[in-house]
Amino acid sequence: MSALADHAYAKMNGIGNEIVLVDLRDSRAAVSPQEARAIASPAGVPYDQLMVLQPPRLAGTEAFIRIYNNDGSEAAACGNGMRCVARRLFEHSDKTAASFETRAGLLNCWRGPSEGLYTVDMGPPKFGWKDIPLAEEFRDTRMIELQIGPIDAPVLHTPSVVSMGNPHAIFWVDDVGAYDLARFGPLLENHPIFPERANITLAQIVDRDHITIRTWERGAGLTKACGSAACATAVAAVRLRRANRIVQISLPGGELAIEWRERDDHVLMTGTATFEYEGRFDPALFANVA
């Protein structure tokens, strides 16, 4: 029987990014890709990301967090999910700041500048082609040679690429709503240039303090919000001198404030985290899980 059978969970969202939290800090159990997919099924608790809190491995951290996409694959980072984790922790303790270990490294979270806001330090971005990673060398990753559509009239072309602990490709467009992202997203996510697949974002510069985006999320599909994509877009816009270091990012699910801090190169993301409900997993979900 799965250790998740009848286990408690919390359903939350980060500006529309659907998040499920499972606290396994008191257990040695781990979540398998099959269990993650079972939870995401229509009979379960459909989500974009599943945040699994496991016992801390480093002194001074609250938990080691494993992050699953709804296809069962693992992600190294999820900014919207981290804000949900932070809110849950702060509401059940007297803490106002905490550190967590993820596959992307240590992430620090704290209460934001006003009630209902939470900030996550997503760490420094990476730009090297091997770090993103890309399948071939590009010395300048501010814009790379990649397009989709006819060679003489591409639909999307020359994206910026950035790693925020996970790979991102940002295509600069005049209107993010003018493209069928559900059609092009899967093709670009799985393009051979991205050996670990990639998050695909359409970005529209409103002005130097404001960018609008839509994202096809690696392993999850169309999403109302992707926090790491917002961070990657803000950073890419600064590198191209199209935006300031503090910028508002508008996503289908809401707004995020992003700061690429000059003094230490870290990217700070501030936004809301919404609690929806609590429940327990139906044991029947895991009946066919090996």
Q: Convert the pLDDT of each residue in 33-85 to its tens digit.
A: 999 999 999 999 999 999 999 999 999 999 999 999 999 999 888 999 999 99
Catalytic center residues? 78, 226
pLDDT at 1 over 90: no
Q: If you search the block for the tokens 């895991």, which residue do you land on?
A: 286
In Å, how far from its chain's centre is CA 83? 11
Rounded to two decimals, the pTM is 0.92
Contacts of 250 (CB under 8 A, 6+ apart): 206, 210, 211, 212, 213
Q: Convert the pLDDT of each residue in 248-288 to its tens digit.
A: 999 999 999 999 999 999 999 999 999 999 999 999 999 88
Bridge partners, 68 (sequence order): 50, 74
Pairing assessment for the beta strands 105-111 and 117-121 based on DSSP bridges: antiparallel
